[in-house]
Homo-oligomer: A and B are copies of this chain.
């Protein structure tokens, strides 16, 4: 099965959906309806109607009812005046036809089952035979042409596959992904919330979510300090001029917040940390003795994302990046990049992720012909891309090369993480930058007493905290590894009589650095065990008559395994070793 056939199948099904909706809801107008990964969508101006996912069975039934009459897509090329006449009731079609005509594109219509539509083409041969294995998936709002100044339309997402088993497999995968959706789990496990009053895309981490964040933060800060990074704290706002100097301002302007006038200065929320670290580097002369300088920061950053693109913790309007900039003599760059890859491997191992299956490396290259997107210096690009390639070869890790994916200031290595949908996202990056040192006039005194220009390696060790948390929640379906679990142990006394002993056990665990909750509610212990298991707390300590007398505890895992009675000290030793081994 080639991608083209799947695209045609899905695009065809979008037409079928349009036909069904227009029959069921007279006056509804269909706008665009393209194929997308794993399916399609179709936008509608629903006019006086309002629909929800509850209407899907009705719409699907109508699609099935119509389908036998969809014998074939016939094509007619038409003129713009004809198009304007044929689609005079649909302003969206007229707008598109006018624009296509202006661009010199052909205008074509098709009318399977007498459903006349304007379309860019790409359909199946026998719709009535091929379109049977579809399902409507979800509904969302979407601005006409993606512009928030236009009307909000109703977007229906659907999927369609060549065979029923393929459809079933996909729906099952979807079901599984839904269960793992960090937005759902974030709520169920009380990790984060959003608030209309605070604003869109601005998550509020609860005490549990904050514990996860803090555990990640201390882990990476301590590890980076061990590896020679110098953690610094720079302000989350700065003068717009700083980003003009770096060249970010014109380039990233669309994803930056508007500037704020203050006194005689124009301040702006920072979209990245690099220029701040350069300012710190330049605050005094630097000698080769202290090079490379590895400035790291757990850095709050701000990117303006359109409200339609906000997604849980994955696409947010403010995030915390484990950022660093290694300012190094050119001849040590390869060594430094190897060290960064070592750190990333270490981090991924701590997260329980495997190279090859859970993630892989991508070498993202520039394009010598695109001097608008990339800084023009062919020799430097060749050199830098080669440095990265050789490091990857030397590390002996699987990687692939991708053209036209570099930063504007140099090539990079991306760590591509596979998420629960099977899709790959860039989790962390390592970038080679030969442009910023020039823009900021970065210099150090080398061992010959001369001024030398360093290169900069930009890197994120555990990426954006929010996104990494979302990834881990989905990867583990909420059952985070013990060392990362916000509540690691819960103590469940089976009655009030055992409260004293429970408190004693809790104190002993807490004094050994374990995060412990206690549930004293006077419910049956069955209910309490069920609740704690649903909360994915790694260990449940049940305390009753037998335990209170013995100096032992009964431990059960969230998977339902009974560890039997165990001495508190032994349990503590086991837990400490789990923390040490990131398990």
Q: A residues touching B (Cβ–Cβ < 8 Å)?
A: 148, 193, 195, 197-200, 202-207, 209-211, 213-214, 218, 221, 230-239, 241-242, 245, 257-258, 260-265, 267, 269, 275-276, 279-280, 282-284, 289, 295, 300, 302, 304, 306-307, 317-318, 521
Contacts of A214 in B (CB 8 A): 221, 231
The contact of A203 among B209, B235, B261, by CB within 8 Å, is: B235
- Find chain B residues with CB under 8 A from A260 CB: 257-258, 260, 269
What chain B residues lie within 8 Å of A318 (beta carbons)?
235-237
Cβ-defined contact, B258 with A232, below 8 A? no
- Which are the 9 A-B pairs with shortest beta-carbon distances? A207-B230, A202-B235, A205-B233, A195-B279, A193-B283, A199-B239, A198-B238, A204-B234, A210-B233
User: Known: A235-B203, A257-B267. Contact between A242 and B197, CB under 8 A?
Assistant: yes
Q: Which residues of B contact A283 (CB under 8 A)?
A: 193, 195, 204, 206
A280's partner among B193, B230, B241 (CB-CB below 8 A) is B193
Residue pair B206, A280 in contact (C-beta under 8 Å)? yes
A205's contact among B232, B307, B521, by CB below 8 Å, is which? B232
Known: A197-B241, A204-B280, A213-B233. 10 other contacts (CB 8 A): A193-B280, A197-B238, A197-B245, A197-B279, A198-B235, A200-B265, A203-B235, A204-B283, A205-B233, A289-B521
Could you say which residues of chain B place their CB within 8 Å of the CB of A195? 279-280, 282-283
Q: List residues of chain B with CB within 8 A of the CB of A317.
A: 235, 237, 262
Q: Is the interface of A mostly helix, strand, loop or mixed?
A: mixed
Establish whether residues A304 and B204, one from each chain, have CB atoms under 8 Å apart when the complex forms: no
Asked if A198 meets B302 with Cβ closer than 8 Å, knowing A148-B264, A264-B148, the reply is no
Bound complex: CA of A574 vs CA of B246, how far in Å? 48
**Shortest beta-carbon distance, A397 to chain B, in Å?**
30
Could you tell me the distance between the alpha carbons of A237 and B234 in the complex, rounded to whole angstroms?
Answer: 17
Q: What are 30 A-B residue pairs whose CB atoms fall within 8 Å in the complex?
A: A148-B263, A148-B264, A195-B279, A195-B280, A197-B242, A197-B279, A198-B238, A199-B238, A199-B267, A202-B238, A203-B235, A204-B232, A204-B234, A204-B279, A204-B280, A205-B234, A207-B230, A209-B232, A209-B233, A210-B231, A210-B233, A214-B231, A236-B236, A236-B300, A236-B318, A237-B317, A258-B260, A260-B260, A260-B269, A289-B521
Residue on B nearest A262 in the bound complex, by CB: B304
Chain B: which residue is nearest A297 at the CB level? Answer: B210
CA distance A224 to B202 in the complex (A): 25
For the complex, what is the distance from the CA of A306 to the CA of B265, rounded to whole Å? 11
Distance of A235 Cα from B279 Cα, bound (Å): 26
Q: Chain B's nearest CB lies how many Å from the CB of A215?
A: 12
**Contact in complex: B206, A232 (CB < 8 Å):** yes
Asked whether, in the complex, the Cβ of B239 is within 8 Å of the Cβ of A276, the reply is no
Chain B nearest CB: distance from A30 CB in Å? 26
Question: Please, how many angstroms separate the alpha-carbon atoms of A524 and B287 in the complex?
Answer: 20
**A242: B residues at CB distance < 8 A:** 197-199
Q: What's the Cα separation between A263 and B283 when bound, in Å? A: 38
Q: Indicate if the CB atoms of A307 and B204 lie closer than 8 Å.
A: no
Output the nearest chain B residue to A205 by Cβ-Cβ distance: B233
Q: A193-B283, A197-B242 in contact; A204/B257 too (CB < 8 A)? A: no
- Give chain B residues whose Cβ lies under 8 Å from the Cβ of A267: 199, 257
A262 smallest CB distance to B (angstroms): 6
Using A197-B245, A261-B258, A300-B300 as known contacts, say yes or no to A237 and B269 having CB atoms under 8 A apart.
yes
